[in-house]
Amino acid sequence: MGVMIIQIGRNDKCYCGSGNKYKKCCLNNDQGTRINDFSPPPHVLKQLLKEKNPEPYLNIVPSVVWNGFRCRAIWNKVYYRPIEQTFHEFLIDVLLLTFGKEWNDKQLAMEHSERHIVMKWKFSYADWTRRSLEKNVIKVVEGIPRYGAIPTGEVKAFLQLAYDLYCLQIVNKLPESMIRRLRNYREFQGVRYEIAVAAMVARAGFEIQFFDRKLKAQTQCEFIAIHKKTGINIGIEAKSRRRKGVLNEEGVWAETEELRGDVWKLFNKARKQKPEEKPFIIFLDLNLPPLSNLPEQETPLLKDLHKMIFEDYGKASFENRDPFNMIIITNYSYYYAGNENETPNGECYMALSDFPETEISQREIVLEIFDSVRNYREIPEEV
């Protein structure tokens, strides 16, 4: 996602440069081009579905302007939103609705330093929006003028979580237990990564089957991914490295102490959670500041990770097979950039096993997952 789109307020200065307020200048003309009191006829709606399909495996229904509202569907619910509201603003609404009004009210009553990281991101988003509106940066989306600006690290983290929640709710795969864990300070980091991984896998064309956490044994993975086209079942495990002072964690972030991979324990635990007779993919989140300022071949961390997986763990062979088919290491840690710097690029790395315990007859399936991971930071401007 290059820019985040926010609406032009009625009382903002008009984008045409007249100096008048938008409501007294171009608002009526703009509304005349986009307000329609009737929903599109079936053949028009079918064409819209074909053209506006940024996530082909999720069957997202494009928004429709009807009777003075922009209608957006999530699973079996329809949301009637203001016509001017952008898709990105709708995602923020989805996130806040997911956390719930009671949680929101309690958070607002706290001192800012004591608030959940998501509430802190909400305030960062509000501050970034104000600053962006002051810059008066215009972007035209589908012929409609919008303000557009590159998000800061914290705003991007906020919006990315919102998009992941939206995608899982689109396919009705966001258990209430996950929502409760999201609200919990201590559990937030782990479940945030589980949600990110589930959303990436769903966007790659898989059905998600979560385990009941009350019944989940220690040897079970996070969820089963069922490939929609072939029916192949793959076990998915997702683990994120905790860092002091980051994502609700106590303590203070110290780069000299924390700037290392240090995911051996996560890997060692994850590899033991392979489901029986199923292929297995492990996701590991480094949760470190962006590493993209160094070429891959010059990044010591990657050399350490490669050594950990293929040397310290033991070289696989026909007789001594790996429990995993693929390890995906991610570092989409936008929040390290704060609310002043532009969104940094995230990183992802893949390691395929030549000798997995359970083979996949169509190896390109796992590559489809990695392709979705590589596109993680892309969020549609509109659906």
For the chain, the average pLDDT equals 82
Between CA 101 and CA 107, with CA 102 as vertex, the angle to 5 degrees is 95
The answer to whether the beta carbons of residues 99 and 179 sit under 8 Å apart is yes
Q: Higher-confidence residue: 168 or 346?
A: 168
CA 83, distance to chain mean position in Å, is 25
b/e map 95-129, b = 16+ CB within 10 Å: bbebbeeebeeebeeeeeeebbbbbbbbbbbeebb
The rounded distance, in Å, linking the Cα atoms of 295 and 243 is 24
Q: Which residue has the tokens 């619910």?
A: 77
Under 8 Å between Cβ of 163 and 202:
no
Whole-number CA gyration radius for the chain: 22
Rounded CA-CA distance 240/257 in Å is: 18
Per-residue confidence band for 291, with pLDDT thresholds at 50, 70 and 90 = confident
Q: What is the pLDDT of residue 39?
A: 44
Q: Would you say 12 and 27 are in contact if contact means Cβ atoms under 8 Å apart?
A: no
State mean pLDDT over 241-264: 77
70, 83 in Cβ contact below 8 A?
yes
351 φ, ψ (degrees, to nearest 5): -130, 115
What is the rounded CA–CA span in Å between residue 290 and residue 16? 38
pTM listed for this prediction: 0.84
Pairwise pLDDT comparison (262 vs 178), residue with the higher score: 178
Q: Find the range with the poorest average confidence among 26-40, 160-174, 336-350.
A: 26-40
Residue type, 351: A
Q: Are 307 and 254 in contact (CB under 8 A)?
A: no
Cα–Cα–Cα angle for 250, 255, 259, rounded to 5 degrees:
105
Read off the amino acid at residue 137.
Answer: V
Burial class (CB in 10 A: 0-12, 13-18, 19+), 380: middle
Q: Which residue has the higher pLDDT, 135 or 233?
A: 233
Q: What is the predicted pLDDT for the residue at 341? A: 86
- Contact criterion met (CB below 8 Å) for 153 and 344: yes
Q: Which residues pair with 74 in a beta bridge?
A: 77
Q: What's the sign of the alpha-carbon dihedral 108, 109, 113, 115?
A: negative
pLDDT in tens, 136-188: 656 655 566 667 788 999 999 999 999 999 999 999 999 999 999 999 999 99
pLDDT at 38: 37
DSSP 322: B
> Higher-confidence residue: 253 or 27?
253
The helix-helix angle for 364-374 and 188-203 (nearest 10°) equals: 120
Whether pLDDT at 202 is above 90:
yes
